């Protein structure tokens, strides 16, 4: 259960309408008025695939996050974090408690490509990875960024800590060239290494080509998020991911408190 407070005090909403869930704590710190059509709550327990039910109204994620900024001249006076939801039904949203369903698995797929980020190369690996992930994830989103160490660290930390994706998968940057920084960034972020996943991926890659031994892919856990590095090649990324896909869903359930025995 979460406590929500619509702004205005009663929000009339129709099927297909959007509502912004705004972080109440950030708003209080900033001392700002909430934007129209927003619902105040503590976003720390809302994730990218949450479904929220209040009364007869059911809302599902339309867009996992947005940043709303107010500027005075060239200076930003606040950055407000919000998640956009779309309603499946007509009805009123009033102040009170709402049920939150976090059972669906949400995934983020991050492609690292300098050329792809500026539109000089089509990203084929990200969509291929996304298609495989649909076997276990109910919701997935694609990101395309350059091979920048600081940007990658920021995006991965946001995906895990703020947007609460269950699964974050990168592709690209796992080799040994000077621009291959993905493994180094991931290693600095994860709290637990999942070496079994790494070994399974390496074994699958070597069966395809001896060059797989050059991969430095890292798999690990940050909070309740599983982070997986895949190679940039569409074929290699698919091979690696298919070798561990059956274990991903089980691991995410364990991270969320599933008490069942692994051997059952």
**What pTM, to 2 d.p., does this model score?**
0.86
Per-residue pLDDT band at 78 (split at 50, 70, 90):
low
Give pLDDT, residue 256.
84
Q: Which residue has the tokens 């297909």?
A: 16
Q: Which domains does the chain have, with CATH numbers?
A: 2-101 (2.40.33.10), 106-255 (3.40.980.10)
pLDDT surpassing 90 at residue 242: yes
∠ at Cα 210 (238, 149), nearest 5°? 60
Interstrand relation of 10-13 and 106-112 (parallel, antiparallel or unpaired)? unpaired
Kindly state the average pLDDT of the residues 126-131. Answer: 97
The tens digit of pLDDT for each residue in 146-158 reads: 999 999 999 999 9
């Amino acid at each position: 259960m979460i406590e929500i407070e619509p702004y205005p005090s009663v929000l009339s909403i129709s099927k297909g309408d959007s509502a912004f869930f705004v972080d109440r704590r950030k708003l209080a710190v900033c001392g700002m008025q909430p934007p129209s059509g927003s619902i105040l709550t503590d976003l720390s327990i809302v994730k990218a695939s949450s479904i929220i039910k209040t009364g007869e109204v059911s809302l599902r994620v339309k867009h996992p996050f947005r940043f709303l900024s107010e500027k005075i001249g060239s200076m930003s006076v606040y950055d407000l974090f919000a998640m956009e939801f779309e309603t499946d039904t007509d009805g009123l949203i009033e102040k009170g408690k709402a049920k939150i369903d976090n059972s669906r698995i949400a995934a983020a797929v991050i492609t690292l490509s300098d050329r792809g980020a500026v539109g000089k190369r089509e990203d084929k690996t990200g969509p291929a990875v996304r298609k495989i992930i649909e076997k276990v994830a109910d919701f997935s989103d694609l990101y395309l960024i350059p091979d920048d160490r600081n940007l990658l660290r920021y995006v991965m930390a946001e995906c895990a800590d703020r947007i609460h994706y269950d699964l974050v998968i990168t592709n690209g940057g796992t080799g040994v060239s000077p621009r291959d920084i993905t493994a180094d960034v991931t290693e600095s972020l994860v709290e637990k290494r999942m070496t079994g996943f790494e070994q399974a991926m390496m074994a699958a890659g070597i069966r395809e080509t001896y060059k797989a031994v050059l991969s430095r892919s890292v798999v690990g856990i940050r909070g309740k998020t599983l982070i997986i590095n895949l190679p940039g090649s569409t074929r290699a990324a698919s091979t690696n991911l298919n070798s561990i896909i059956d274990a991903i869903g089980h691991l995410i359930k364990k991270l969320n408190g599933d008490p069942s025995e692994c051997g059952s």
